[in-house]
Amino acid sequence: MGIDSSLPSLDDRPHLLGMRPVDLQAHLEEQGQPCRPEFARRIQAQLISHGRAEIAPRRPVPQRILRYLDQHTRRDRLEVLERAEDPADGFVKYLLRHPDGAVTEAVRIPLLKEGCFTVCLSSQVGCAMGCVFCATGRLGLKRNLRAWEMVAAWMTLRDEAPGRVTGAVFQGQGEPLHNYDAVMQAAQILSDPCGGRIRQEAITISTVGLVPAIRRYAQEQRPYRLIVSLTSAVGARRAELLPVAGRFAMHELREAVHEAAAQWSGRFTVAMVMMEGVNTGQDEVDGLRDLVEGLRVRINLIDVNDARPDGYRPPDEGERRGFIDRLQALGVPVVRRYSGGSQRHAACGMLAATRWDEGEGAAEPPTDLATS
């Protein structure tokens, strides 16, 4: 049913923001509360689409159902600890506190179309992937977020936006495919007509390349845009830069990418985080050629964001231009993506909510990703 109440919480009742109407109807039926589909749709539209704190639909819902929901379910939201707007580009980073004291970040991103925004969502508290250039990766993993927590984060940023929020990007803290079921449930809720009302094509899920999860994604024919953040197409280098994702051989990743790309009607996206003197050489171009051969693909380039004094640096214009020219010779579109919010540490690779509740350490990196 998609109800995830198994993780630590001050209140373990099922959360309404983690359900689609079909999930709510099934839950009520299981609890001996007969519910017609239109009742469930009205309830979820009030709570999620319209962001109401109370359930008071214009069209009637039986009082027995409303009483049951008041007593046996939750609908609370997340607490906003901080908001920080980048004056350079209008990106707004939110620091959000969860019921168990955990803290995550989300970013409201202005789109090219005036008055429209998307929201970058976290999927975990911390991250187990250990990517060496990523601030979140240096935190380690504390826990997965539940579907309702991701939906609640999106709703908070939507409700405060000075315009329309038309999309969602699962590219914040954490590896989305390492929290596969909850992320897919959240995406379904955000794209539901009684939920976030986002077009499925406007939901993007990013992964560093967990092969079993990519294959599962392809087999399930998920309709959302999948981006594989490759960072390096050279196996040994990739294992150094992305320790967990680097456990999978390049030929395994290539097969998984081709399976996923076959399910997507548009161009499949492979992303590269460019680092000075690290991954902009001819060996990377050769590796990318092998990976994308036969695909309708675009290569998405972004400069690294590493705030450490001794951290990785983006390439200078000459190095960057040479890399782009060699990639374009492959005959595939190459897009250099802008990474905003860097002045407020809201850019890609910079999210690191370190105000976690004290006394609980990070979890160990996963040893078995076969079912991720």
What are the E-state strand segments in 151-224? Answer: 164-170, 203-207
For the chain, percent of residues with pLDDT exceeding 90? 76
CA distances from 294 to 83, 133, 181, 200, 281 (A): 44, 30, 30, 26, 22
Provide the pLDDT for residue 371.
Answer: 41
The yes-or-no answer on residue 105 being catalytic is yes
Catalytic residue among 127, 131, 194, 348: 348
Residue ranges per domain, the chain?
16-72, 79-344
pTM for this predicted structure: 0.89
Provide the pLDDT for residue 261.
Answer: 94
Which stretches of the chain drop beneath a pLDDT of 70? 1-10, 338-372
Provide the pLDDT for residue 352.
Answer: 55
Closest CA to 141 of 97, 179, 98, 180: 179
Provide the pLDDT for residue 124.
Answer: 96
Which letter, b or e, does each residue of 269-295 get, where b requires 16 or more Cβ atoms within 10 Å of its Cβ?
Answer: bbbbbbbeebbbbeebbebbbebbeeb
- In angstroms, the CA 232 to CA 217 distance is 22
CATH 3.40.1080.20 for the 79-344 domain, yes or no: no
- In angstroms, the CA 35 to CA 33 distance is 6
- In angstroms, the CA 183 to CA 171 distance is 11
- In angstroms, the CA 106 to CA 130 distance is 20
- Partners of residue 72 on adjacent β-strands: none
Provide the pLDDT for residue 356.
Answer: 43
Provide the pLDDT for residue 266.
Answer: 86
The yes-or-no answer on residue 348 being catalytic is yes
Provide the pLDDT for residue 135.
Answer: 80
Provide the pLDDT for residue 369.
Answer: 55
Catalytic residue among 105, 149, 175, 284: 105
Provide the pLDDT for residue 7.
Answer: 47
